[in-house]
Amino acid sequence: MKLSAKVLFAVMVALALSATGAALAQDVTDDATCLECHADMERAAPADPNMVQVHDPAGGFTVEAHEMWSCVDCHSYVEELPHADDVADQEVNCLDCHEEVPQN
């Protein structure tokens, strides 16, 4: 194979691989993407017992006003998929939207 054909082949392979990577990227702002893995997971109560629990254990919302927001509007620490394993250790910061943390 001539050098120019090898270079052309290498460029084509690189383009194909980069296009595949872009196609595999997932939109973290789409709740359906989150629910592909989390739909059947039980939602834990907040670590602070005084804090309002937004999700019911089945994954719906107990606070109806939150239904219009995407998962990452509250879980803003999720920036890419697959996300890191330690995101479960992170807390939602209600002060991103509320003037004070809602209490029970």
pLDDT digits (tens, 9 = 90+) for 26-57: 788 888 898 888 888 888 778 888 888 888 87
Residue 10 within a domain: no
pLDDT digits (tens, 9 = 90+) for 60-84: 788 888 888 999 999 999 999 989 9
Counting every residue written for the chain, the total comes to: 104
In one letter, which amino acid is 19? A
Tally the domains of the chain.
1
Residue 14 within a domain: no
Residue 90 within a domain: yes
Range of the domain at 45: 26-96
